[in-house]
Amino acid sequence: MRSAIVRHPIDTTGLLHEVEASRNGASVLFVGTVREENEGRPVTGIEYEAYEAMAERELEAIVAECSMRFGTEDIVAEHRIGYLAIGEASVAIAAAHTHRAQAYDASRFVIEQIKLRLPVWKCEAYVDGTREWVDQRRETGNGKRETEQPVPTSVTPESEPTRSHPVSRFPFPVSR
């Protein structure tokens, strides 16, 4: 189990090797990269900034919570700060478990908690020369911002409301 805030390129192969163990039947690697467009605007790169000491403590806490929740110590997470160009990895998470479902769930838990809790800020640089701070905690899967929506505590097929997106099956907050 390890976490780090780094200023160098993330070695994703190295992260996978860190979680290797003969007891594990599955390893999952999540890599978040800088994409070329956000909300229809062409992006040239992103500057990630952090209050490093606080970010390191929070990332360590997220990984520890994940370990307790999913019953594995084979979790490594790194978040890069500084200027990153298109295609560079900003965050990587390797999780391994005896079963694939728990490995996937552990990885998903870590990235969702990073989005919600990690004091890392990003400033997008656009092709037109402008820059804009982006609130990563409120981004949806397609780069758009979302508003809080209450999720029912128990839903049956008959009571399932019509939604534009499904209710998460994860027992923790997730961004969409």
What would the pLDDT profile of 1-51 be if each residue is shown by its tens digit? Answer: 999 999 999 999 999 999 999 999 999 999 999 999 999 999 999 999 999
Residue 150: Cβ within 10 Å count: 5
Residue pointed to by tokens 């019509």? 162
**What is the rounded CA–CA span in Å between residue 15 and residue 128?**
36
**What is the rounded CA–CA span in Å between residue 153 and residue 151?**
6
Residue 37, SS3 per DSSP: strand
Q: Which two tokens stand for residue 14?
A: 């190295």
pLDDT at 36: 97
Angle (deg, nearest 10), helices 52-70 and 100-117: 150
**What is the rounded CA–CA span in Å between residue 110 and residue 172?**
10
Burial class (CB in 10 A: 0-12, 13-18, 19+), 53: exposed
What pLDDT digit, counting tens, does each position of 54-76 carry?
Answer: 999 999 999 999 999 999 999 99
pTM: 0.78
